[in-house]
C-alpha cells in the first residue's frame, strides 16, 4: 500500500499560480501511474493530469492543458502539479492518486483506475 499526502493548496487570484506537491510513503511510487484529480462542491471528481512511471508521458484534461504541468521526482517519492493562469473554475479540492502497474480496463482519466488517494488540498481561486 501507499499513503499520499498533498500540500501547497491555498488562495490565489485569477491569473495567479500555485504549486502542489504529493508525497508518497509506504511504497516507492516509481512503479505507479500518478495523477491529480479535483472535486468542486456538488461536482463529480474530475481528472486533471497524469504522469507515467518514468515521467516520459503526461496526460491533461482539456480544461487545464497549457496551464498546468504535472511532474514527478521518483527519488523524492513525490509528484507535483504546477498550476498557472488560474481561473475561478479551478477552485476545488485537489487529490493525488496512484495506480500500481497492472492491467485495468479503466482509462487514465477514470478515478476507478486508481487504488490510492490522498486527503486532498483545497485550491481557491478568486475573481
C-alpha torsion sign, points 116, 96, 63, 101 = negative
For residues 22 and 80, give the distance between their C-alpha atoms in angstroms, rounded to a whole number.
Answer: 6
For range 30-42, the mean pLDDT: 94
The more confident residue out of 30 and 14 is: 14
Q: Render pLDDT for 52-102 as a digit per residue (tens, 0 to 9).
A: 988 889 999 999 999 999 999 999 999 999 999 999 999 999 999 999 887
Q: Dig out the grid coordinates for 17 from the structure.
A: 499560480
Name the DSSP letter for residue 113. Answer: G
pLDDT at residue number 79: 96
CB atoms within 10 A of CB 1: 9
C-alpha span between 95 and 45 (Å, rounded): 9
Which residues partner with 7 through β-bridges?
A: 21
Task: Sheet containing 78-83: give its strands across.
Answer: 3-7, 18-25, 78-83, 68-73
Residue 103 has pLDDT above 80, yes or no: no
Nearest CA to 4 out of 84, 123, 115, 112 is that of: 115
Amino acid at each position: 500500500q501507499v499513503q499520499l499526502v498533498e500540500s501547497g493548496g491555498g488562495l490565489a487570484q485569477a491569473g495567479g499560480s500555485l504549486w502542489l506537491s504529493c508525497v508518497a510513503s509506504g511504497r516507492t511510487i516509481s512503479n505507479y501511474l500518478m495523477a491529480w484529480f479535483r472535486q468542486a462542491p456538488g461536482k463529480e471528481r474530475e481528472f486533471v493530469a497524469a504522469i507515467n512511471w518514468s515521467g516520459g508521458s503526461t496526460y491533461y484534461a482539456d480544461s487545464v492543458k497549457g496551464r498546468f504541468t504535472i511532474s514527478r521526482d521518483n527519488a523524492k517519492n513525490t509528484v507535483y502539479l504546477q498550476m498557472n493562469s488560474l481561473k475561478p473554475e479551478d477552485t476545488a479540492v485537489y487529490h493525488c492518486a496512484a495506480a500500481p502497474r497492472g492491467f485495468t480496463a479503466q482509462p487514465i482519466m477514470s478515478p476507478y483506475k486508481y487504488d490510492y488517494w490522498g486527503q486532498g488540498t483545497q485550491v481557491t481561486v478568486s475573481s
